[in-house]
Structure 1
Amino acid sequence: MSRQSQTIDESLREEIISRPDMILDDRDLMQALIAANERAMGGNIVDLRGIAMDRLEARLDRLEDTHRSVIAAAYENLAGTNQIHRAILRMLDPLEFEPFLRDLGGEVADILRVDSVKLVLESVQNDSDPAIRRLGDVLSVAEPGFIDAFLADGRNHAPKRQVTLRQMSEGDPAIYGESASWMRSEACLRLDFGPGRLPGLLVMGSEDPHLFTPQQGTDLLAFFAGVFERAMRRWLA
């Protein structure tokens, strides 16, 4: 074999010398060079530097995966924040209670991408009252103690947290009516309307069993519930 065939092209050689980072930043090229070096050393020599590089490379891969997961979670959280903010702004637009309830089950539900939004108010008044029924099917009135029983879901005590996320085989007909059999997950927002007032409950239902799960964070929904409580106090005053 001639000497010329064994030497690298001069222009390529000068390019590599002037820009060594071009080689260092190319993972495939670096792996090929390391493999060639190992073959040149022979099979009886343990290349500790090569082993260390393999481990560093594996660690870099894990860090890159973690980085991608963190970025994805950040984008998802930002999208969720924007979604809640848009829903709150739309919820605060109406100046009367009836449009407020209508938007809650309409545009607000669409922005939140849920299939159902229901507001339950505990009261000694019956929901067969014509004034209540005129407000549509978003609002229902229940007897005192209903909310704790609903949130307890068969257990001895209802959770004290403001937001409860859960999955189910079907929804409660007392909440969802005829669409109960389609519901697979729900977010239950406990509402406090102030001293001397019975509590309320805002229930968001979804046909997607993975939209609301107990493992999810609840900060954004808790913020939504806090704004909703303050908006409701205007109408209850």
Structure 2
Amino acid sequence: MDAGAKAKNEALGPEAVRAFLSDNPDFLRGDPALLAELGLRPDAANVVEFGPAALARVHEAHRRESTARRQLEATARANFAAQAQTHGAVIDLLESRNHSDLARRVDELAQLRFGLVAGVVCLEGPERTPAGWRTMVEGQIDMIIGHQNVALMGFQPTALGLFSERAEQVKSMAMVRMALWEPARQGLIAFGSADEHGFTADMGAELVAFLARVVERTAERWPVL
């Protein structure tokens, strides 16, 4: 194989192209067809300028960058607002006077702070359930969110009954398992949204889980009477 054929089979890297153009500055200026294909044009001063195609590419790249930046900023603002609302919700929950008041505050913060349909606190077992809490049969939490799962984000038809008369408005849910008292009883905190995209499977459940832990600790202040 001669040197020419070998050169054709070798990949021409960016540095080699750059070096060639640097050593042969007239190469592009002497090839109007190639300049047009690249979206460039030489002006009267023999300086290569950006043509419409090149400018369009630069504009499109800038547009994509600006859109991505705006999306990141919007996400950051939404996350900050959600965290601020969650911190306020914690203060509300800690001021609860009893189990019934705690359940009422969960529902109120869901509606007033987060714009949701409802927030409910549920408890499994044949033993007494605090006033204002939803009663669930043993094993029902596993049936709803899965035996191995601590949380579920999205829509789960079997959970609609938790929201009673507001069930028809709920299009997505955020649910987190709880363990209360000693010996532990299984519980669940559930929030319902009227937006089918309000809670989705790809969302993190950290803030909801944080509220669940607050409810657990607050509820343990009082015995179930």
What is the TM-score when the length of structure 2 is the normalising length? 0.68
1:153-209 deviations in whole A, cap 9, x for unaligned? Answer: xxxxx342x321112579522x12232222111111111226631210011112221
Match of 2:70 in 1: 68
Distance (Å, rounded) in 2 between the aligned partners of 1:200 and 1:206: 20
Distance (Å, rounded) in 2 between the aligned partners of 1:217 and 1:207: 19
- Secondary structure of the residue aligned to 1:202 is strand
Distance (Å, rounded) in 2 between the aligned partners of 1:107 and 1:221: 12
CA contact (8 A) 1:169 1:184 kept: no
CA contact (8 A) 2:110 2:191 kept: no
Aligned pairs, number:
185
CA contact (8 A) 2:110 2:118 kept: no
Give structure 1 regions of 4+ aligned residues with deviation exceeding 6 angstroms.
none
CA contact (8 A) 1:170 1:180 kept: no
CA contact (8 A) 1:91 1:108 kept: no
1:1-40 deviations in whole A, cap 9, x for unaligned? Answer: xxxxxxxxxxxxxxxxxxxxxxxxxxxxxxxxxx9x9484
Over the matched positions of the two proteins, sequence identity in percent amounts to 24
Q: Does 1:180 align with 2:139?
A: no
Gap runs ≥5 in structure 2: 1-38
Match of 1:200 in 2: 187
Distance (Å, rounded) in 2 between the aligned partners of 1:170 and 1:180: 11
Match of 1:220 in 2: 207
Match of 1:114 in 2: 116
* Counterpart code for 1:188: M
* Counterpart code for 2:196: P
Match of 2:98 in 1: 96
Q: Does 1:148 align with 2:135?
A: no
Measured at CA, do residues 61 and 122 of structure 1 come closer, stay the same or move farther in structure 2, by a change above 3 Å? same
Match of 2:221 in 1: 234
Measured at CA, do residues 108 and 58 of structure 1 come closer, stay the same or move farther in structure 2, by a change above 3 Å? closer
- Secondary structure of the residue aligned to 1:214 is coil
Measured at CA, do residues 101 and 107 of structure 1 come closer, stay the same or move farther in structure 2, by a change above 3 Å? same
How big is the shift at 1:52? 6.7
CA contact (8 A) 2:145 2:151 kept: no
- Secondary structure of the residue aligned to 1:196 is coil
How big is the shift at 1:63? 2.1
CA contact (8 A) 2:122 2:188 kept: yes
- Secondary structure of the residue aligned to 1:106 is helix
Match of 1:25 in 2: none
Gap runs ≥5 in structure 1: 1-34, 153-157
Measured at CA, do residues 102 and 222 of structure 1 come closer, stay the same or move farther in structure 2, by a change above 3 Å? closer
CA-based RMSD: 3.2
Match of 1:23 in 2: none
